[in-house]
Chain A
Amino acid sequence: MEAHHVLFKKGFKVASYGTGSAVRLPGPSIDKPNIYSFGTPYDHIYQELKAKDPKYTQNGLLDMLDRNRKIKRAPERWQETTGVFDVIITCEERCFDAVLEDLINRGQERHKPTHVINIEIKDNHEDAMLAGRAILHMAQMIEKTKDIDQDIEKLLEEWKEKYPYAILHGVTFF
């Protein structure tokens, strides 16, 4: 969402999705996350968690939700979307796998190539902030290329020199 936020601010046409079965937010303990189904409005989650326990302010969860509810209404699920994208950036290998697998399952009937890039990011506020900028930079670099399909390899090499993140890249089709 941080990347969505950053890219959105810079005027990119961007959407964000989860790949799991539900939205899992930190809860009172590691084994007790707060679980919401996709489509539950961020505002609803925000209000509910705020009422539940004010300590969520401390760990930044409420701030995050507050940011998210200003970006879009509710979390969406990748597997339920029909959108077609030029580039798909995932922030966890699990998501990368899920996206590639899902695109295979969809049957690739639209014949539209797409690039799936995984940038491995630790899931915490600080790393998300830093990675958000890195992703923005990548998006800007992609925006500048004449033909992404042709230049992506070079572009990624160049990007990798600047940032410490491990990346995966694959071409697949919608």
Chain B
Amino acid sequence: MASSTEAQIANLLNIASDPGSDAKKVLESLIAFEQLVEGRDDLFEPQTAAALNFVEAANEQIREWAVSFLECYKRLAEGQQAWSTACEIKNAIISLLANPRTDDGVKVYVVKYLQVVVIVQSRRVQDSMVRQYEDISLSICPPTHPFLDPQLLEQEAIAILHTLLTLLRKESNGIITAVINCLGPLLRARPQYIENIINVFGSWMRTPPSHLNESQMGNVEKSVRILLMSLLKAQPSSPSAMQIFDSLVAMGGKQELAQFPKQFRQLLQQQNDGRTSMKRGATSGIPEFSKRPRLEGNDISNTIYINNILFFFGQFDVTKFPLPLVVEIILGTLQAVSPGRLNQTVLHAQNQNSPSTPPRSSTPPIVNLKTTALRRESRLRDPRLRAAGAAASPSPSPPCVTVSASTSVVETTSIEASQTLSTTTNVQIVVPLEHPKNEENRSPLPIATEKIDEKIFTKIESEPEPEPQLIIPTESTTKLSESILKDQELIKQPTQQAPILERPAQTFKIQPFTLPPPEPLSFEECRSLMKSRVKSIFNAEIRLPTGGMTTKIDSASTTVSKPFEQSQSYISSGMTKSQWMMIISRLLTRGLNTDWDVINEPELPSKTDDTKSSVKIETDVHMEEAQGKTESEDISSAGDVMKIEEKNEEKEGQVESKEEKEEQVESKEEADTHDIKGKNDELRELMMKYILEDFRGRMELALTWLYEEWYHDNIMLRNSLSYSANYAKWLRRLLDTAMPALEAKDQTFTTFLLDVPELPEDVVDRVKIYCNDPDRMQLGFSTLSQLIEMRPPVRQCAMNILLQYSIHKDRITRSSAIVTLRKWWGAHDNNQVATEIQSFAIKSLNELCLESPPLPYDYHYHLGTPVVEQGSLDAEAMKIDQATPTNDNNELARKWTEQEITKRLELYLALVAKQHELLSELFNAYKNASIFVRKIMTQNMIPVIKSIGMNSPKLLQLIRNFPEGCDTLALKMVVSLTSAMRPSPQLVSTVKSAMEQRNLDSRFLIPIISALEKNEIIVHLPKVINILDGTETQKRPVKEVFTAATGSTTTQIPSGQPTTAPLIPSELLLALHHMDGQVSQAKLAEAIKVCLSMTHIFKSEVLAVVLQQLVDEPELPNLIMFTLYQSVNSYKRLMGFVTNLLSRLITKKVWDNPDLWKGFIKCCKVTLPNSLPVLSQLPMEKLQMVLQMDPSFKEPLKKHVQNSWNENQRRNRMPYLTNLLEING
């Protein structure tokens, strides 16, 4: 088998050197092989216990390989040959990298191979993240190995690592990422290279290779970031963590804030806030080694520091030397020094170190100790310290010898105390000597320290479990204590676990009792102290981060057992604003109440018990305060508050039991209470002032505070009835001061009122102040409206105010309120609110029916006790009052005025516009109202009715069925509906049917007449004419009817629509003439007169047509002469035409009708002298009649006959004419 393996290896080697297609597979197996070859060396060191462990723990596969190599090894002369084969392969592979023919695919494998080589050929250190039994490293190779030289191999590994890193500068993107990614496991196994590699990355980033394009650069940077992040996450507390963190930040890892482990997130926030005092090289890329924070004055760390420098500047590492050698050198050196000088140096070193001993009783130093210890520990990782420890030699690093007393870490006490099993008694003895200041016998301090220690232990325990390891007791105590600290395995040993876990619990309970009793302070001192404390809490606000609410939960989950984190988080503003607000609010409400109560209580008869408890409570209060300030612990402070509350309640129980006694001192108590209130108020006053400095910005604080007050009030009131509540009082005070200062557009006020826990009515009443202010009226109303909507308990109250404003005398105020109210229609389903508004509107409408207006609402907010409504008067009324201060003046002031009426109408009308059903209410009110009120009502109603329009079914129904006595209102409605619009068919039919059914007067016809048919008009016309009574007022509607009927109105013509007038003017006029009999002649004559007066409609042409037709009619209408007469009077140019008509009338024997005959003569008279020929045509008797009736015709006629008639004519008619006219021959 061995030979075949050997042959196989040779074969593989051949293939490997040929960068052909199969090379990758070969490399793959070689990688595994390499691991094996390396590991195998140790398999054959039976004397090494660690190696033995390895064999036992090795997994199945490795064991299999191991067995086969065991045989192989036996034959190959102590394995040397196999090793040299492996070396050959290794070299061949490394040379592949330099070979230009090697393609990327192979190189990827080479990279991986080299990664394994580096891991195997380097030392395992303490914080290596690979499980020990899986880790094949130089550490398991004994220094006395026959043919392996660990130092040489390690140097080679470092060289290979450098080779790998040089690839970063010349290879392709794929290879570079492969290198970076394979560094991950490498660095986890070998963290000692982290610093070096991070530096390489840093310089790479600063001067990136030119052959990569942008996206490839991005890929590489991305890989680096992921690598660093994974390292950071894997070991957030490792010594290199800070460096990793810094370079991550430098690489822009800040964006991935969420990825960082928690403590680094905080650090990052700190940096972002610019509040960190540590100036890191974040901007300059990778921080300088020397800049890293170190534990000063500690020799060990200095040593490590030096070691590191050596490591970086020449790979010279003193720890790499075999321990015996180092010991020998040191011993040799020391022998050369005189004993006196040696002692002196030792003493000196001890003296120097002792002052640097950290104080041990307080918490913060422990933090330092822990972290520094961990840091130190990681450098002190040479495994040989333990492995070679059996040699009982002094430490290889000389300074360590002197350190002993310096690292008096508190932890050691308890660790060592619990160490008995694993460590020697030696150590235990050393402890008290080492820590002379640890006065274990003095109480109670040691208890406290011990407890703190244990806290840390529990923390350490929670970290990942390391392996059990042997500790050699002979090492210097310092080192031992350190290694104990780091090698948590010791703590973990099961035998010690139980007691350690138990003790913290016990000590936690008794913690508060260890505080020394506080000095009792005088009342005044307490007061000023509290005041200054409260002030300083206020001042802390600026240091808080904004947006505290969101982080509240996070910070609340931090546990109490991390004192150092809390103190840190205060500095880094880990405390959120909400916590701050909670603390200050609770302090003022519950905390302080207790405090003052307590101070007051000693005045009670039974003093002793109370005084005692008062002291305790006081302590708690102070503690709470302190905690609040330093810890930002919501939970803990809340817990304390609870505690106080409990005590409070207890106390109250006591108080109650002493009721009788209290009664005796009641009067005194009252005075005292007043006093206390005053003092409480002092601090609350501070709070208020602070809030008012920036009411908008601190509203949240105000709310938090008020909530606390309210809550506290409720608790207190439950227990004692005499308790005077703070909440309402301070809410009022706050509002009184804040309100005048707020801007008109500021919604803060509204939000504030919406958010406070409870709203007393008088607080709602305060909104009036805004409602009365013209600038802030909107704010007032919107606040009220939101209160109505969002705060049902004050809905009634707010609603009442808002409603009253809807009948305010000032029009602008009123309409604002109405607009606010009106939104509940349509947009809201809030029926309750809507109903209420509706009933109020109707109520105020109905008030119009009262004899005099009711007393006005009190629109003013009155400081102090709310005033009863009825008791006060409107400002205006008051003024009148003052002017004429008699009793009757109230009555005088409360007469209905237009304003009084209008203001009560407007809300209703606004509602009616949206809800037509309410219209009937208007009729009801109208019916009962006085005439003056009716008039104003009607006036105001018109625009609303217009906006409702004539298609509203409710309106139509009401017009049809309006109650008795409301004719005018209904008519006015119809009129206003039609004033600008042509009436709709529905309206027309409604009015028509109403007229028919209820025998309404013809005024109703007027609005709709233009929409009627010709016949209908003619039918209804007599009714219209009938209203004429010779007065101008009645003429007007008739004129309107005529205008409408003839379609001549200018208003009614809708654009683009041809006028379709039901009647043409001549038809109307003819109709009038035919109405004789239905209407009295006088009225008809008046109607005709009206027509003729409307000269724009009844033009002369129209008259001509009408007259012509009338004359042509078989039976002459009675009024024809009247019309003729009127026409010729109006239009002189009709003279000729009329004369013609007159002569035609002669043919129609006009004289048969006496009326007509009279008219005829009248007309003739008017038309003189044109009518003379007509007259001359009259038969003899008729002419005679005319002349008798009116002799004035005689002369003109005579002249006419003489001048115009020729001889012949004269002769024919002369006989009677000459006679008649007394013409001389």
Contacts and interface: CB of A to CB of B under 8 A. Distances in A.
Contacts of A166: 215
A148 to B, nearest CB: 8
A170 B130 contact: no
B185 A171 contact: no
B405 interface: no
B112 A173 contact: yes
Contacts of A169: 173-174, 177, 219
Interface string A96-127: 11001101110110011101000000000000
Nearest to B259: A97
Contacts of B233: 101
A146 B130 CA distance: 36
B350 interface: no
A97 B248 CA distance: 14
Interface stretch (A4-12, A33-41, A149-157): A149-157
Nearest to B225: A97
B1081 to A, nearest CB: 83
A111 B177 contact: no
Contacts of A113: 108-109, 112, 178
A170 B221 CA distance: 10
Interface in B129-155: 130
Contacts of B28: 111-112
Interface string B227-245: 1011001100000000000
A115 B108 CA distance: 11
A170 B219 CA distance: 7
A171 B178 contact: yes
B188 interface: yes
Given A111-B28, A153-B173, A169-B173, A104 B181 contact: yes
B338 to A, nearest CB: 54
Q: Classify chain B: how many residues form its interface, as a range.
A: 35 or more
Q: Which of B130, B188, B215, B229 has the most CB of A within 10 A?
A: B215
Contacts of A107: 130, 185, 188
B218 interface: yes
B185 A149 contact: no
B248 to A, nearest CB: 13
B938 to A, nearest CB: 56
Given A150-B105, A170-B222, A108 B115 contact: yes
A103 B219 contact: no
B223 interface: yes
Contacts of B396: none
B1092 to A, nearest CB: 77
A20 B1129 CA distance: 107
A168 interface: yes
A111 B234 contact: no
B644 interface: no
Interface string B78-108: 0000000000000000000000000111101
B174 A147 contact: no
B880 to A, nearest CB: 61
B67 interface: no
A172 interface: yes
Chain A contact patch, size range: 20 to 34
B108 A171 contact: yes
B181 A167 contact: no
B918 to A, nearest CB: 41
A108 B185 CA distance: 7
Nearest to A160: B215
B173 A97 contact: no
A111 B116 CA distance: 9
Nearest to B229: A101
Contact of A170 (B31, B181, B185): B181
A165 to B, nearest CB: 12
A167 B259 CA distance: 21
Contact of B181 (A96, A168, A173): A173
A149 B104 contact: yes
B21 interface: yes
A170 B230 contact: no
B554 to A, nearest CB: 16
B252 to A, nearest CB: 14
B226 interface: yes
Interface in B1-32: 21, 24, 28, 31-32
B184 interface: yes
Contact of B185 (A100, A104, A150, A153): A104
A171 B108 CA distance: 8
Contacts of A170: 177-178, 180-181, 219, 222-223
B130 A172 contact: no
B165 interface: no
A101 B230 contact: yes
A101 B226 contact: yes
B104 A153 contact: yes
B108 A100 contact: no
A108 B174 contact: no
Interface in B156-208: 172-175, 177-178, 180-182, 184-185, 188
Given A105-B230, A108-B112, A111-B31, A171 B181 contact: yes
Given A105-B234, A111-B31, A111-B116, A150 B104 contact: yes
Contacts of B32: 111
A58 B614 CA distance: 66
A149 B219 contact: no
A112 B188 CA distance: 19
A45 B215 CA distance: 39
A170 B108 CA distance: 11
A150 B115 contact: no
A150 B103 CA distance: 6
Contacts of B185: 104, 107-108
Contact of A171 (B177, B227, B256): B177
B222 A152 contact: no
Given A104-B185, A105-B234, A111-B116, A167 B174 contact: no
A171 B218 CA distance: 14
Contacts of B105: 147-150
B212 to A, nearest CB: 11
Contacts of B104: 149-150, 152-153
A115 B173 CA distance: 12
A103 B223 CA distance: 12
Contacts of B227: 100, 104
B225 to A, nearest CB: 8
A147 B104 CA distance: 10
A166 B219 CA distance: 11
A167 B218 CA distance: 10
The 9 closest A-B pairs by CB, nearest first: A104-B184, A149-B105, A172-B181, A171-B178, A170-B177, A150-B105, A101-B230, A111-B31, A147-B105
26 contacts: A96-B222, A97-B259, A100-B226, A101-B229, A101-B230, A101-B233, A107-B130, A108-B115, A111-B31, A111-B113, A113-B178, A149-B104, A149-B105, A149-B108, A150-B103, A153-B172, A160-B215, A167-B215, A168-B219, A168-B222, A169-B174, A170-B180, A171-B174, A171-B181, A172-B178, A173-B181
Given A108-B184, A153-B174, 5 more contacts: A101-B229, A107-B188, A112-B28, A149-B108, A153-B104
Interface of B: 21, 24, 28, 31-32, 103-106, 108-109, 112-113, 115-116, 130, 172-175, 177-178, 180-182, 184-185, 188, 215, 218-219, 222-223, 226-227, 229-230, 233-234, 256, 259
Interface of A: 96-97, 100-101, 103-105, 107-108, 111-113, 115, 146-150, 152-153, 160, 166-173
